[in-house]
A and B are shown apart, each in its own frame.
Chain A
Amino acid sequence: MDHVVSVACPACGAAVHDSDRFCEGCGAALVAPAAPAEPSPEPSPQPSPEPSAADGAGAPCRSCGGVVAADGYCEQCGALAVSERDHWSERPAPHVGGVCDRGRRHARNEDAMALHADGALTALVVCDGVSSAPDSDLASLAAARAARDVLAAGAVPATVTEAARPAAWSALLVDAAAAADAAIRGAVGDRAGRAEPPSCTFVAAVVDGPLVVTGWLGDSRTYWLPDAGTPRQLSADDSGANELIARGVPRAQAESSPTAHAITRWLGPDAPDVVPQTTATRTQGPGWVLVCSDGLWNYCSEAADLDALVRDVEARVGSAPDAIAAELVTWANAQGGHDNITVALARPTGDSLQAEPTGSAANVEAAPPPASRPDLDPTDR
C-alpha cells in the first residue's frame, strides 16, 4: 500500500505520512493537529490572560497535545509549556477570533490583543510592544484592553445616521487610543520616567455592519480581504519604511531597510502625540477584516499575498477565525518567527450589507470586480 506524503507535522513542519502516529522528524504525536482544525460550535469564553500568568502547566502541550508536567515541560515531547501571556487565543463570537503568540526568537511576548463582539459592534485591537523599551509587554496589554473597553462601552448607537457613523467611530477610536495611552501610564508606574519607557503600537478596527473603521499609531495593520474583489491594506504604517515608500523606494526594499521598523508614532509616556490616523471603509460583500502585528506581515506584506495565504489556510482549516489565526501564527513561526505574532480576524455580518453607501467621508468599496477603486483617504485628525 502506498503511503502518500500529504501531511505536515504540526510541531516541526516536516512531511509525514498520513498513517504515521508520530512525526519522524521531531517525535511529536500526529493524532491531533496542533491548531484547532474544527470550528468550535460555541464561541469560546473570552479568556483574560494576566501578564503575570506563570506557566502552562495543566493545559495540554501545544506541540503534541501531551500532558505538561509540573516542571513546565511536556511529558511526551519535552516542549516548553508556554505561559498564557506567551500564547493565547480569543474567540468572543463565532465570526471573531485571534491569536497572540511570542514567536520563536523573542524571549517575551510583547504583543497584545483584545477582541470584543456584541450585537452593536465587533472590535479588534492589537498593540505591539516596542522591543527596545523594556517591559513593553505591560504597556501593550494594558493599552489593548483599555482601548477595547472604550470601544465596547461607547459603541455608536443605532440612532446615528449612516452618514454620521464613520465620523462617530473615528472619534471613538481617538478616545480609545487616548484611554490606551492613559492605561499604559497606569500600568508601568515609575518605569514611565525611564529614558525608554514602555510603549507600543496601536491598531484597532471596528466593524459596524458593512462599515469598517480603523485607527492606528505605528506599524500594526488592518487589511480588508474580500471573498471576491481586490484585497487591500486599510491602515498606512507610521514607519520608516513608509517614509521611504513615500519617497519612491519600492515596498519590498523599503520594508527590508534598516529603518523599516523604526516607527514614527506610538503610544506611551514618551509618545509625541497619541491621536491615531483613522480611515473608514464601506465593504461590499463578505470577506475578512484582518488586524495584525508586524510579526505576521513581515513575511507577507502585500495585501494580495496575505489574501492568498488566508484563503489557502481557510481551505485547509475551515472558516473559524481563531483557527485561521492560529494557522497564520504557525505559518509565521515556520518562516522564522523572528518577532511576536498577533493576528485577529472578523467577518462583517452579512445582514447589514443592504445598507446604502452615503456621501460621507468613508471610502466606498466598489462591487467586484472593480473597474477602479477610490484611493484610500485616511481621515487624518
Chain B
Amino acid sequence: MAEFRTEVFQNEFLSDGATDVHAIVTVTAAGAGPAGAAQGGVAEIVIIDTSGSMEGANLAAAKHAAQVAIDQIPDGTFFAVIGGSHVAQRVFPLPNWAVAMVPMDDRARSDAKQAISGIRSSGGTAMSTWLRLADIIFATVPQATQRHAVLLTDGKNESEARTELSRAVRDLTGHFQCDARGVGEHWEVDELREISTALLGTVDLIADPADIAEDFRRIVQTSMARGVASAELRVWAPQGAQVLFVRQVAPTVEDLTTRRTEVNALTGAYATGSWGDESRDYHVAVRVASKPVGSEQLAARVQVAVGGEVLTSGLVKARWTDDDALSARISPEVAHYTGQAELASVIQEGLAAKAAGDEATATVKLGRAVQLAAETGNEEATSRLRRVVEIDDEEKGTVRLKRNAAKLDEMALDTASTKTTRVRR
C-alpha cells in the first residue's frame, strides 16, 4: 500500500485585519509499486493519428512508436490500439474480434504489431471521435480501474468544430487519463493542452518523428509505474471561509479550482489521477474572516484520499500578530510558485498575442516572462524564451520579438510553459 505524506510551507502569521492565507503543500507518495499492484486491472490504449497528413515519415515513425509502446506494456494489462482520422477505428483487437480489449501476452503482442504495420493513412482529423471510441473500449473492462491512453497527432482538429472536442473532453473527464503528443509544427498546442489538462495527463511537442518511439516508451513506463490508480486532493476550509484557488504548481502548473467536487459543505475534492513514487506541490489559498491579534485558527486541512480514505493531512494555519517582522515575511515557497504560475500564464498570453498580431502586448508579456524566469531560476524557460525574443535586459524584462522565430520554437515554449522548477531549499 502506498504511503502519502504532506509538508506545509507557509508564513502562518497575518497582520491585524489580514484575511488571505497562502500555503504550498508538498504531497509525496512512496511505496506505490507497479500499476495494478494494489487493485483490479490496468488498461492502456494507444491512439495514433492516421489522417492523410501523416503519410510518409510521420506515419512510419508513429507506427514504430506504437510498436515500441506495445513492448512496454506488461503481460496481463488490457490494451487496444486506435487509429484516428475524421473517424476512429479500432486497429487492435481487430475490428472483427468480439472483444474490444485483450490482456497482453506474447501472442497478442505480435498480433497487435502486425495490425499496426497494416495501418494506412487517409481522411481528416476529428479527435473527439478518437477519445469517445477509447471511452467505449475502456468501458468493456470495468474491472480495470486504472485507465490510461496516449494520443499522438500531427495536425489540427480540422474535421469538426472545436466545441465537439471540448464537449468530448468534458464528457470523458474522470473516465481515463490521457497524455497527448504533437509531432511536427502543424498541430495546435491549445487543443492538445485542453485534452491533457482535463484528462490529467501531460502535453508535449515532438519535433523529430524519430523521437516518438522513445517518448512513447517513457510515457507507457511512467504509466505502468503508477501503483495508485486514483488519488484525490481534499481541501477543508472553515465555515464561512472561501477557497480562493487550489493549484498544482509542480511538476507543472494546473489550476484545479474549478475541478472541485463536494465531499461535504466544508471539504472539496480535486482529482489528481494516478500516482507513482513521486512528489507534487500544491498552492492553496484560503480567505478567512480576520480574527483579533493573538488568535490562532486553522485555515485549511489539505489531505490526500485514496478510495475515500484520508491518508494524510497537512494543516494550514493562521495566526494574527501585531509584530510586523513576523507578518511581513513571505514564504519563499509561496513566492517561488506564485512567480512560476504567473510565468506560465504570461508565456501563453504573450504567444497568443503574437499569433493575433498584437506585438505590443506580446512584447510586454514575454518581457515579463523573461523577468520571472530569471527571478525564479527557471533556466529552461529562459533558454526557450531566448529562441523567441531578443533579451535586452533580463532584470527589467526588456525584450524585442524575434522577426524570424521558428514556429517549432514558439510551440516548444508554449507546451513547456506550465513546467515549473522546484524551489531551492
Contact = CB atoms under 8 A, between A and B. Distances in A.
Decide whether A and B assemble into one complex.
yes
Contacts of B301: 71, 73
A77 B292 contact: no
B151 to A, nearest CB: 42
A12 B301 CA distance: 22
Contacts of A134: none
A76 B297 CA distance: 11
B275 to A, nearest CB: 23
A9 to B, nearest CB: 10
Contacts of A71: 298, 301, 313, 315
A98 interface: no
B238 A27 contact: yes
Nearest to B314: A71
A104 B297 contact: no
Contacts of B289: 12, 25-27
A152 interface: no
Contact count band on A: 20 to 34
B296 A80 contact: yes
B357 interface: no
A105 B240 contact: no
B296 A28 contact: no
Given A27-B238, A29-B239, A80 B292 contact: no
A336 B295 CA distance: 10
Interface string A76-112: 1111100000000000000000000001111000000
B294 interface: yes
Contact of B315 (A73, A79, A106, A336): A73
A75 B297 CA distance: 11
Interface in B232-267: 237-241, 266
Given A22-B239, A22-B240, A64-B239, A78 B292 contact: no
A144 B297 CA distance: 31
Interface in B274-320: 288-289, 291-299, 301, 313, 315
Contacts, number: 64
A28 B299 CA distance: 14
B240 A26 contact: yes
A76 B301 CA distance: 11
A27 B294 contact: no
Contacts of B313: 71
Contact of A104 (B237, B288, B294, B299): B294
A76 B237 CA distance: 9
Given A12-B289, A78-B299, A105 B294 contact: yes
Given A73-B315, A76-B238, A77-B239, A336 B292 contact: yes
A287 interface: no
Contacts of B296: 80
A286 B244 CA distance: 56
A29 B291 CA distance: 16
A23 interface: yes
Interface in B94-108: none
A48 B180 CA distance: 65
B298 A78 contact: yes
A337 interface: yes
Contacts of B315: 71, 73
A24 B241 CA distance: 10
Nearest to B313: A71
B292 A337 contact: yes
Contact of B294 (A12, A76, A337): A337
Nearest to B296: A80
Interface in A174-197: none
B297 A77 contact: yes
A174 B266 CA distance: 56
A80 B298 contact: yes
Nearest to B318: A78
Contacts of A77: 238-240, 297
Given A71-B301, A73-B315, A80-B298, A105 B239 contact: no
B170 to A, nearest CB: 33
A91 to B, nearest CB: 27
B295 A104 contact: yes
A178 to B, nearest CB: 36
A263 to B, nearest CB: 23
Contacts of A106: 294
A27 B239 contact: yes
Contacts of B298: 71, 73-74, 78-80
Interface string B349-388: 0000000000000000000000000000000000000000
Nearest to B295: A104
Interface in A9-46: 12, 22-29
A91 B294 CA distance: 28
Contact of A28 (B239, B293, B294): B239
B243 to A, nearest CB: 13
Contacts of A22: 239-240
A78 B293 contact: no
A76 B241 CA distance: 11
Interface string B218-238: 000000000000000000011
A76 B266 contact: yes
Given A76-B266, A78-B298, A12 B291 contact: yes
Contact of B293 (A26, A27, A64, A105): A105
Contact of A80 (B239, B240, B293, B297): B297
Interface of A: 12, 22-29, 64, 71, 73-80, 103-106, 333, 336-337
20 contacts: A22-B239, A22-B240, A24-B240, A27-B238, A27-B240, A27-B289, A64-B239, A73-B297, A73-B298, A74-B238, A77-B238, A78-B238, A78-B288, A79-B297, A80-B296, A104-B294, A105-B294, A106-B294, A336-B293, A337-B294
- The 4 A-B residue pairs with the shortest CB-CB distance, nearest first, are A27-B240, A78-B238, A27-B239, A104-B294
